[in-house]
Amino acid sequence: MILEVEGLTKRFGGLVAVDGVSFEVRRGEILGIIGPNGAGKTTLFNLISGVYKPDEGRIVFDGEDITGKPPYKIARLGLARTYQVVKPLNELTVRENVMVGACFGREYLDLDSARRVADEVLRMVGLMEKAELPAGKLNVPEKKRLEMARALASKPKLVLLDEVLAGLNPAEVKGMLKVIEDVRKRGITILMIEHLMHAIMRVSDRIIVLDYGKKIAEGKPEEVANDPKVVEAYLGDPSLVLR
Amino acid sequence: MRTIAWLLALILILGFLPIVTHDVTLRETVFLILMYVALAESLNVILGYTGYVSFGHIVFYGIGGYVAFVLIENYGTNIVLAMLLAGAFSAFVAYVLGLAILRLRGAYFAIATIGINEAVKALVTNLNQLGGAEGIYFNMNVYRPYGGAENAIWFAYYLMLAVTVAVVLVNWKVKRSKFGLGLMAIREDEDASLTLGVNTSMYKTIAFAISAFFPGMVGALFFFKNGNIDPESAFHLTKSIEMIFMVMLGGFGTVSGPVIGAMVYERIRGLLLVSFKALHIAISGVILLLIVLFVPRGIVGFLRERVPVLRRYFE
């Protein structure tokens, strides 16, 4: 197990955004997280990456209890993430953006080594031609790739992808799925939130479903898609999903 | 490399002019220019690289001035040691304050720094040991170890030149280091930097301490040369605004920007003081507004964007 989450709970005033969620992520797998809007998916990511401190529960990453640790320490242990609303460092170049990931990530590299890693990762996600541009000048699909590149440059063991496919056209989705497959081939475990059903059903080994902060289902994509609770909460007609 | 070479050449040539010509008026002008350059470059570390608008940054200049003044007047400390201790004390104050107020972002941080400057000013004004509102004057004997007042002033001038060179070198080093990359990441998006592994609170606090160290030394030299110190001139908020003006005019977050901004501002200020007297701050304010609206990256940023060939010379 690379990640164990036990009874995780986060409240915002009267709202329980994440409610006693437990699950495990196996080394090397792609675990998808789905759920209607407001189900608590991004909050769950914010808890795991240390942005929020949980009110209850425990998070163990690679054998180490990371509950309540600051985000930068968690990042250095090898847990990287992307943001649903992209956060490029606009005035820095694309290469410098990726270097930040490499410099302060798991390997904590010096500038020269970080530059080499950055170029390698930029080639992998197909942003090498834009390396010298300020990140603010990229379009949305490119910014999504940049988020991905920055996370990968930190040489993570586990990467949390928050809707990296949202807002992309079908060709771009294809390209990004290829990148995701490449990442997995490198032995990096992936935990991903996605709204694009056909895509997440295809790439995930297992899927968990959140609704109103609670985990309502877990299993292989086809099992989840046919689970009556999931259908009721979210999917509507299962035949649409498995088309 | 080219940037730092011509910057240092410029500062050294300018710095040695009064020494070679032995021109006292020129020395006063250059002392002021060097002081502006050093203050602007100091502020650049926290404002330009890290993106935190330290509006009351002059507080560190005032604190340094008082620390050195008291050390020299009461304990006969040598100006070099007094200057270093003044810088260290300012940096220490910034470090401690930073742990508290660097949690604030944007306008809240700026307002907190103004509050600190005013609070320290009020404190010093009410401390009789520090001369209260009247301030303190040197006993003329303090200049004796340097061979009289005139020689002491020359000595302060050499030290100001050394401090200016040092602060420019530090800016250049920071800009090209991993530390600097972390600071600029914080400037662009603090939340993203934190999840990318940057220890943001430590980085910000160290940056704030560095940017307070040099104003502490500059304050020590200025008031040593001046011979008296009082709260009104030590914690003068207008000087703070001038520092921000110089950094924005030249181009924040670059090594050469604040140097150019300081030199241009010193000229503008001279012209405005002659023709408009009291209005010079008002006019500077209007210019600042125009810069922020139309050339947000200042002279250097503008040149870098329009004339790519010059980029190597204007880092």
Q: Say how many C-beta atoms besides its own lie within 10 A of residue B122's C-beta.
A: 12
How many Å lie between the alpha carbon of B199 and the closest alpha carbon of chain A? 6
Q: Is the pLDDT of residue B63 over 90?
A: yes
What are the Cα distances from residue B261, in Å, to A160, A198, B44, B254? 44, 56, 11, 11
Range name among A111-115, B130-134, B268-272 with the lowest pLDDT average: B268-272
Nearest of A236, A224, A230, A194 to residue A211 by alpha carbon: A230
Nearest of B48, B55, B63, B125 to residue B93 by alpha carbon: B63
Q: Are A11 and A53 in contact (CB under 8 A)?
A: no
Nearest of B216, B76, B214 to residue B146 by alpha carbon: B76
Which of B49, B177, B195 to probe the A interface (max A CBs under 10 A)? Answer: B195
Q: Is the pLDDT of residue A240 over 70?
A: no
Range name among A161-175, B236-250, B282-296 with the lowest pLDDT average: B282-296
pLDDT band at A242 (very low <50, low <70, confident <90, very high): low
- pLDDT at position B279: 80
Measured between CA atoms, the residue of chain A closest to residue B192 is A87
For A213, what's the count of Cα atoms within 13 Å in the CB-facing half-sphere? Answer: 15
pLDDT band at A16 (very low <50, low <70, confident <90, very high): very high
**A116 Cβ partners below 8 Å, 6+ apart?**
none
Phi then psi for residue A193, to 5 deg, are -95, 135
- pLDDT at position A227: 87
- Locus of tokens 């080994």: A205
Instruction: Sketch the domain layout of chain B as residue ranges.
Output: 2-312
Nearest of B59, B64, B87, B35 to residue B259 by alpha carbon: B35
pLDDT band at B54 (very low <50, low <70, confident <90, very high): very high
For residue A79, the chain B residues in CB contact (below 8 A) are: none
Phi then psi for residue A96, to 5 deg, are -60, -40
Q: Say how many C-beta atoms besides its own lie within 10 A of residue A229's C-beta.
A: 12
**Percent of chain B at pLDDT exceeding 70:** 100
pLDDT band at B288 (very low <50, low <70, confident <90, very high): confident
pLDDT in tens, B110-129: 999 999 999 999 999 999 99
Q: Are B54 and B72 in contact (CB under 8 A)?
A: no
Q: Measured between CB atoms, which of A81, A89, A108 is closest to B195?
A: A81
For residue A71, the chain B residues in CB contact (below 8 A) are: 194-195
Q: Are A161 and A191 in contact (CB under 8 A)?
A: yes
Please report, in angstroms and rounded to a whole number, the separation of the first and last CA atoms in chain A.
32
pLDDT band at B286 (very low <50, low <70, confident <90, very high): confident
Q: Is the pLDDT of residue B167 over 90?
A: yes
Cα B185 from Cα A88, distance rounded (Å): 9
Q: Is B13 exposed, middle or buried (0-12, 13-18, 19+ CB in 10 A)?
A: exposed
Which of B196, B199, B201 to probe the A interface (max A CBs under 10 A)? Answer: B196
Q: Is the pLDDT of residue A239 over 90?
A: no
Q: Is the pLDDT of residue B151 over 80?
A: yes
Q: Is the pLDDT of residue A241 over 60?
A: no
- Locus of tokens 């709970």: A9
* Average pLDDT of the segment spanning A179-190: 94
**Domain B2-312 is found in CATH 1.10.3470:** yes
Q: Are B51 and B187 in contact (CB under 8 A)?
A: yes
- pLDDT at position B46: 97
Enumerate the β-bridge partners of residue B163: none
Q: Are A75 and B196 in contact (CB under 8 A)?
A: yes
B3, two tokens: 């940037």
pLDDT in tens, A20-66: 999 999 999 999 999 988 899 999 999 999 999 999 999 999 999 99
Q: Is the pLDDT of residue A159 over 90?
A: yes
- pLDDT at position A136: 95
Cα B131 from Cα B79, distance rounded (Å): 20
Comparison of pLDDT for A65 and B315, the residue scoring more:
A65
- Mean of the per-residue pLDDT values of chain A: 92
Range name among A97-111, B42-56, B285-299 with the lowest pLDDT average: B285-299
Q: Are A209 and A217 in contact (CB under 8 A)?
A: yes
- pLDDT at position B282: 82
Q: Measured between CB atoms, which of B176, B181, B253 is closest to A99?
A: B181
- Mean of the per-residue pLDDT values of chain B: 94
Q: Are A59 and A3 in contact (CB under 8 A)?
A: yes
For residue A70, the chain B residues in CB contact (below 8 A) are: 194, 199
Q: Is B34 exposed, middle or buried (0-12, 13-18, 19+ CB in 10 A)?
A: buried
What are the Cα distances from residue B110, in Å, to A125, B53, B101, B117, B244? 40, 5, 10, 11, 11
Type of residue found at B250: G
Instruction: Please provide the DSSP assignment of A49-88 as one string.
Output: TTSS--SEEEEEETTEE-TT--HHHHHHTTEEE--SS---
Distance of alpha carbon B137 from the chain centroid:
24
Q: Are A209 and A34 in contact (CB under 8 A)?
A: yes
Q: Say how many C-beta atoms besides its own lie within 10 A of residue B6's C-beta.
A: 12
pLDDT band at A233 (very low <50, low <70, confident <90, very high): confident
Cα B41 from Cα B243, distance rounded (Å): 9
- pLDDT at position B312: 85
Asked if the Cβ–Cβ distance from B181 to A100 is below 8 Å, we say yes
pLDDT band at B188 (very low <50, low <70, confident <90, very high): very high
Nearest of B57, B263, B102 to residue B168 by alpha carbon: B263
Q: Is the pLDDT of residue B277 over 80?
A: no
Cα B194 from Cα B190, distance rounded (Å): 6
Q: Is the pLDDT of residue A243 over 60?
A: no
pLDDT band at A1 (very low <50, low <70, confident <90, very high): very high
- pLDDT at position B313: 86
pLDDT in tens, B78-115: 999 999 999 999 999 999 999 999 999 989 999 999 99
How many Å lie between the alpha carbon of B36 and the closest alpha carbon of chain A? 27
- pLDDT at position A238: 55
- pLDDT at position A198: 87
pLDDT in tens, B189-211: 999 999 999 999 999 999 999 99
Query: Which long-range contacts does A173-176 make (Cβ < 8 Å, 24+ apart)?
Result: A173/A199, A175/A126, A176/A141, A176/A144, A176/A145, A176/A148
What are the Cα distances from residue B311, in Å, to B51, B178, B254, B257, B301? 22, 21, 11, 12, 9
